[in-house]
């Protein structure tokens, strides 16, 4: 369900406080019965972080709601959002993310990487406060998870990392050879792409 926004709510998001301010008002618009059920929203953003839309993906029970990746990202792709923020409420007032909250975040982050739609944050809100996956560092932690990464994507990542490591080793060997030949550090850095600090740390036997 598309949430109707006022012009004042179509703001540029600078931090998690901005999102909470809007989502708190949206939650409080609900009648008392629905406030006691878990909601899962997706906030779509333009490239400059201005809100494009807020969509209610699911309305669950007192302690559970479901968010399927197809539903989450279909709205984002249809409305050309390049970034999204996930948000759901905890009627219990408990802000600590459950294992289920972490799991769905992990899954949606990985799908977002595949469809090139960045998940910027996931907020758990109550009528008084919120928990931000991004602010807590949990979002970055989940980005490194491989639980929901397809095997072919994982293989591509491993190959890319191996190639980058091999390229780095080759670059270092070239830099060492230049250093042996008496080339100054600045020239070595500019020609190899290594930093001055990296070049200075290289230990070689000069000819």
For the chain, 207 residues long, give each residue's pLDDT as a single digit of tens.
Answer: 556 665 666 668 889 999 999 898 888 876 554 667 889 999 999 999 999 899 998 886 555 667 888 888 988 888 889 999 999 999 888 999 999 999 999 999 999 988 899 999 999 999 889 999 999 999 999 998 888 888 877 777 778 777 877 888 888 888 888 888 888 888 888 888 888 888 888 887 765
140 within a domain of the structure (yes/no): yes
Radius of gyration for the alpha carbons in the chain, expressed in angstroms and rounded: 23
Same domain, yes or no, for 17 and 86?
yes
Same domain, yes or no, for 117 and 167?
no
- Is the dihedral angle over the CA atoms 144, 150, 153, 159 positive or is it negative? positive
207 within a domain of the structure (yes/no): no
CATH number of 67's domain: 3.40.140.10
Same domain, yes or no, for 29 and 125?
yes
Summarised one tens digit per residue, pLDDT across range 164-203 is: 778 888 888 888 888 888 888 888 888 888 888 888 888 8
Same domain, yes or no, for 25 and 92?
yes
161 within a domain of the structure (yes/no): yes
CB-based contacts of 111, cutoff 8 Å, min separation 6: 69, 72, 73, 148
Same domain, yes or no, for 54 and 121?
yes
**Rounded CA separation 119/109 (Å):** 6
- Number of domains the chain contains: 2
Same domain, yes or no, for 123 and 168?
no
User: In this structure, are residues 37 and 59 in contact, taking their beta carbons and an 8 Å threshold?
Assistant: yes
> Is the model's pTM score more than 0.85?
no
Same domain, yes or no, for 105 and 163?
no
Same domain, yes or no, for 193 and 111?
no
Same domain, yes or no, for 49 and 74?
yes
- Cα dihedral: 75, 79, 85, 86 (round 10): -10
Residue 118, domain extent = 7-148
User: In this structure, are residues 42 and 76 in contact, taking their beta carbons and an 8 Å threshold?
Assistant: yes
Phi-psi region of 182 (alpha: psi -120 to 50; beta: other; left: phi over 0): left
Same domain, yes or no, for 106 and 12?
yes
Same domain, yes or no, for 90 and 172?
no
């Amino acid at each position: 369900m598309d949430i109707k926004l006022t012009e004042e709510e179509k703001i540029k998001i600078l931090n998690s406080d901005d999102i909470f301010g809007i989502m708190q008002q949206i939650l409080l618009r609900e009648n008392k019965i629905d406030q006691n059920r878990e909601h899962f929203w997706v906030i779509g953003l333009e490239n400059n972080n201005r809100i494009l839309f807020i969509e209610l993906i699911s309305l669950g029970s007192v302690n559970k709601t479901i968010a399927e990746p197809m539903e989450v990202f279909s709205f984002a792709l249809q409305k050309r959002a390049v970034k999204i923020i996930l948000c759901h409420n905890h009627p219990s007032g408990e802000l600590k993310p459950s294992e289920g909250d972490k799991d769905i975040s992990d899954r949606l982050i990985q799908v977002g990487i595949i469809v090139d739609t960045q998940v910027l944050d996931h907020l758990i809100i109550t009528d008084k406060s919120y928990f931000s996956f991004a602010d807590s560092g949990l979002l970055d932690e989940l980005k490194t998870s491989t639980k929901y990464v397809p095997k072919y994507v994982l293989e591509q990542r491993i190959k890319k990392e191996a190639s980058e490591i091999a390229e780095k080793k080759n670059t270092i060997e070239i830099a060492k050879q230049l250093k042996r030949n008496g080339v100054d550090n600045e020239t070595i850095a500019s020609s190899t792409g290594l930093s001055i600090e990296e070049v200075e740390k290289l230990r070689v036997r000069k000819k």
